[in-house]
Amino acid sequence: MLVREKMTKDVIIINISDPIVKAEKLLQQYSINQLPVFSGKKITGMLSVSDIEHFKQNSESNNWDNISVKDVLPPNQRLVTISPDVSIEQAVMLFQNDERFSSLPVMEDGKIVGIITITDVLNTFVDLLWAKRSRITVELGAQPGLIADVTGVISDFGVSILRIAMFPQPAHGSFEALISLDTDNIRPIVEKLRQKGYAVSAYNY
């Protein structure tokens, strides 16, 4: 899945010369934590709620009307952007590498085309793992062919598989397969898998 499929396309931005009170209003109005900062048509940084709070705590001024975004933006800030045609997994790695960022500007041909947030990424993985039908979790040993055996059982019941996610269990030398199914009747599948010796947990939505 690509970033362009999950990014927000209507991006709220701020100009570096705008007063900081305008930035605060935008952050509050749209319930966002960061704003892309532009100087003309060029992106120069990301202004966050914490940047503003930190500035206020360390400023002796109470006249915020005379304070611009440029005054508050952290100096020498490392700007991290992302392309719309990279994977969601790559966005995750960028967020992991720098905890200061809660959102990333999405740039294409030098222009901002969207923004992707940590919440967007988390929602993507929730959608992938938790299809809104039924789900079974099957414990698998390390020997090859087990997932094929499990999916074969499901196929025998004429049920379509919506999602499969594999999670290693290093402490036990095994795997846990999370399988989302396009059916409301998972009982016979669970019973058959248990008859074959698999440990199975099942959930309906």
* pLDDT of res. 130: 62
* pLDDT of res. 38: 96
* pLDDT of res. 132: 59
pLDDT, tens only, 71-85: 999 888 888 999 999
* pLDDT of res. 202: 82
pLDDT surpassing 80 at residue 33: yes
Task: Looking at the structure, tell me whether residues 120 and 139 fall in a common domain.
Answer: no
In angstroms, the CA 105 to CA 112 distance is 7
Of 57, 91, 125, the one marking the end of a domain is 125
In the chain, which ranges are E strands? Answer: 14-15, 34-39, 42-48, 103-108, 111-117, 134-140, 161-169, 174-181, 200-204
Please report, as a single letter, which amino acid is at residue 187. Answer: R
In angstroms, the CA 138 to CA 176 distance is 6
Range of the domain at 159: 131-204
Task: Looking at the structure, tell me whether residues 116 and 188 fall in a common domain.
Answer: no
Task: Looking at the structure, tell me whether residues 49 and 18 fall in a common domain.
Answer: yes
Of 125, 143, 164, the one marking the end of a domain is 125
pLDDT, tens only, 114-166: 999 988 888 877 766 665 568 889 999 878 889 999 999 999 999 999 888 88
Task: Looking at the structure, tell me whether residues 144 and 121 fall in a common domain.
Answer: no
Task: Looking at the structure, tell me whether residues 117 and 18 fall in a common domain.
Answer: yes
% the chain with pLDDT above 70: 95
Task: Looking at the structure, tell me whether residues 35 and 78 fall in a common domain.
Answer: yes
Residue 39 tokens, joined: 């100087």
* pLDDT of res. 204: 66
* pLDDT of res. 105: 95
* pLDDT of res. 173: 77
Of 125, 147, 168, the one marking the end of a domain is 125
CATH number, domain at 165?
A: 3.30.2130.10
Residues 155, 134, 177, 168: what is their CA dihedral angle, to the nearest 10 degrees?
160
